Amino acid sequence: MANAAGAGGAQQADVAVVGAGFAGLYLLHRLRKAGFSAIGLESGNDVGGTWYWNRYPGARCDIQTSDYSYTWDPELEKAWTWSEKYATQPEILRYLGFVADRYDLRRDIRFGTTVSAATWDDGTQRWLLTTSSGAPVSCRYYVMASGCLSAPKPPEIEGFKDFKGEVYFTGRWPHEKVDFTGKRVAVIGTGSSAIQSIPLIAQQAAHLTVFQRTPNFALPAHNGPSPADRVEMLQKDIPAFREQARWSMAGVPLPPATDFSWQLSDAERRERFEKAWAAGDLVVMLTQLWADQAVDVDGNTLVADLLREKVRAVVKDPETAEALTPRDHPFGSKRPCLDTGYYATYNRPNVTLVNLRREPIKSITASGIKTDSRTVDVDAIVFATGFDAMTGAITAVHPISGRGGKSIAEAWEHGPQTYLGLTVAGFPNLFMITGPGSPSVLSNMMVSIEQHVDWITDRLVALREAGFTTIEATDTAQAGWQRHNADCSMITLHRLANTWYTGANVPGKPQGVMPYTGGVGPYRGICNEVVERGMLGFRLTGANGAEQCNDGEIVRLQPDVRLVLNLLASMNLPPLESFGAQGARDFLTQFNATRPAGRPVGEVVDGTLPGTDGPLPYRLYRPSTPGPHPIVVYFHGGGWVLGDEQSDDPLCRDLCRRTGMAFVSVGYRHAPEHRFPTAAEDSYAALCWIAGHAAELGGRPGPVSVAGWSAGGNMAAVTCQMARDRGGPQIAGQLLICPVTDCTFDRPSYVDNATGYFLTRSLMYWFWDLYCSPADRTDPRVSPLRGKLAGLPPAMVVTCEFDPLRDEGVAYAEAMAAEGVPVEQLKARGHFHSSFAMVDVVITGVGGRVQMARALRRFAGLPVEETPTRQDNTAQRPIQAAAAGAAD
Ligand code: NA7
Identify the pLDDT of residue 2: 55
User: Is the distance from the beta carbon of residue 193 to the nearest atom of ligand 1 less than 6 Å?
Assistant: yes
CA of 505, closest atom in ligand 1: 38
User: Span 515-527, mean pLDDT?
Assistant: 97
Residues in Cβ contact with 465 at an 8 Å cutoff, skipping those fewer than 6 apart: none
Residue 387 Cα to ligand 1 midpoint, Å, equals 7
Gap from CA of 385 to ligand 1 centroid (Å):
4
Quick one: average pLDDT of 294-312? 97
Q: Is the CB of 335 under 6 A from ligand 1?
A: yes
Q: Is the shortest distance between the CB of 787 and ligand 1 below 6 Å?
A: no
Q: What is the pLDDT of residues 702-732, one digit of tens each?
A: 999 999 999 999 999 999 999 999 999 999 9
CB-CB contact of 120 with 127 (8 Å): yes
The sheet with strand 662-666 has its strands ordered as 603-610, 615-622, 662-666, 631-635, 704-709, 731-737, 795-802, 823-832
pLDDT at 4: 55
DSSP structural state of residue 342: H
End-to-end CA distance of the chain: 52
- The pTM assigned to this predicted structure is 0.95
Give the tens place of pLDDT for each residue, 260-278: 999 999 999 999 999 999 9
Whether 359 and 477 have beta carbons less than 8 Å apart is answered as no
Q: Hey, which of 157, 213, 219 would you mutate to test ligand 1's pocket, going by the most ligand atoms within 8 Å of its Cβ? A: 213
Q: How confident is the model at residue 231 (pLDDT cuts 50, 70, 90)?
A: confident
Task: Give the torsion sign (CA, 66, 69, 74, 77).
Answer: negative
Task: Determine whether the shortest distance from the Cβ of 883 to ligand 1 is under 6 A.
Answer: no
CA distances for 668 relative to 480, 663, 678, angstroms:
43, 15, 8
H/E element, 118: strand 115-121
Ranking 419-433, 472-486, 860-874 by mean pLDDT, the lowest is 860-874
| Ligand 1 site, residue 355, Cβ cutoff 6 A | no
Residue whose CA lies nearest to ligand 1 atom number 33: 192
| Ligand 1 neighbourhood includes 156 CB (under 6 angstroms) | yes
Give, using CA atoms, the residue closest to atom 2 of ligand 1.
Answer: 191
Ligand 1 pocket residue status of 500, Cβ below 6 Å: yes
Q: Which residues pair with 437 in a beta bridge?
A: none
pLDDT given for residue 418 in this prediction: 98
Q: Are 701 and 694 in contact (CB under 8 A)?
A: yes
Percentage of the residues of the chain whose pLDDT score is greater than 90: 93
Q: Is 170 in the pocket of ligand 1 (CB under 6 A)?
A: yes
The mean pLDDT value for 209-226 works out to: 97
d(CA 813, CA 785): 9
Per-chain mean pLDDT for the chain: 95
Residue 226 Cα to ligand 1 midpoint, Å, equals 28
User: Is the beta carbon of 328 within 6 A of some atom in ligand 1?
Assistant: no
Are 688 and 633 a contacting pair, CB within 8 Å? no
For residues 351 and 210, the answer to whether their CB atoms sit within 8 Å is yes
Q: How far is the CA of 84 from the centre of ligand 1 (A)?
A: 26
233 or 30, which is more confident?
A: 30
User: Which of 92, 385, 444 most suits a substitution to test ligand 1, by most atoms within 8 Å of the C-beta?
Assistant: 385
786 C-alpha to center of ligand 1: Å? 62
Residue 384, ligand 1, Cβ within 6 A? yes
Cis peptide before 575 (omega within 30 of 0): no
Over residues 791-811, the pLDDT tens digits come to 999 999 999 999 999 999 999
State if residue 149 touches ligand 1 by the CB under 6 angstroms criterion. Answer: yes
Taking the centre of ligand 1 as the mean of its atom positions, its distance from the CA of residue 178, in whole angstroms, is: 21
pLDDT value of residue 866? 54
Half-sphere exposure of 155 toward its Cβ, with a 13 Å CA cutoff?
22
What tens digit of pLDDT does each residue of 304-332 get? 999 999 999 999 999 999 999 999 999 99
Interval 149-157 mean pLDDT: 92
pLDDT tens profile 662-688: 999 999 999 999 999 999 999 999 999
522 in contact with ligand 1, CB cutoff 6 A: no
Q: From ligand 1's centre to the CA of 149, what distance in Å?
A: 11
CB-based contact 436:388 (threshold 8 Å): no
Distance 597 CA to ligand 1 centre (A): 40
- The amino acid at 310: K
What's the CA-to-centroid distance between 622 and ligand 1, angstroms?
A: 47
The atom number, within ligand 1, closest to the CA of 194 reads 26
**Cβ of residue 60 lying under 6 Å from some atom of ligand 1:** no
In tens, the pLDDT along 865-884 reads 755 444 432 333 333 333 33
d(CA 384, ligand 1 centre) in Å: 6
Ligand 1 closest atom vs CA 335: 32
Does the CB atom of residue 558 touch ligand 1 within 6 A?
Answer: no
Mean pLDDT of 463-488: 98
Q: Please identify, by atom number, the ligand 1 atom nearest to the C-alpha of residue 386.
A: 23
Ligand 1 touching residue 210 (CB < 6 A): no
Give the pLDDT confidence of 808-830 residue by residue, as tens digits: 999 999 999 999 999 999 999 99
pLDDT at 880: 33
Query: For residues 122 and 735, what is the distance between their CA atoms, to the nearest angstrom?
Result: 56
Q: Is the pLDDT of residue 605 over 50?
A: yes
Best residue for ligand 1 mutational test, from 51, 86, 193, 283 (most atoms within 8 Å of Cβ): 193
Ligand 1 centroid vs 506 CA: distance in angstroms?
Answer: 10
Give the pLDDT confidence score for residue 482 in this predicted structure.
98
pLDDT confidence bin for 233, thresholds 50/70/90: confident
Judged by DSSP in three states, 702 sits in coil
pLDDT at 5: 56
Q: How far is the CA of 199 from the centre of ligand 1 (A)?
A: 17
For the stretch 60-118, pLDDT in tens is: 999 999 999 999 999 999 999 999 999 999 999 999 999 999 999 999 999 999 999 99
Name which residue sits closest to atom 35 of ligand 1, judged by CA.
Answer: 192
- pLDDT grade, residue 628 (50/70/90)? very high
pLDDT beyond 70 at 186? yes
pLDDT for res 562: 98
Provide the pLDDT confidence category of residue 887 given band limits of 50, 70 and 90: very low
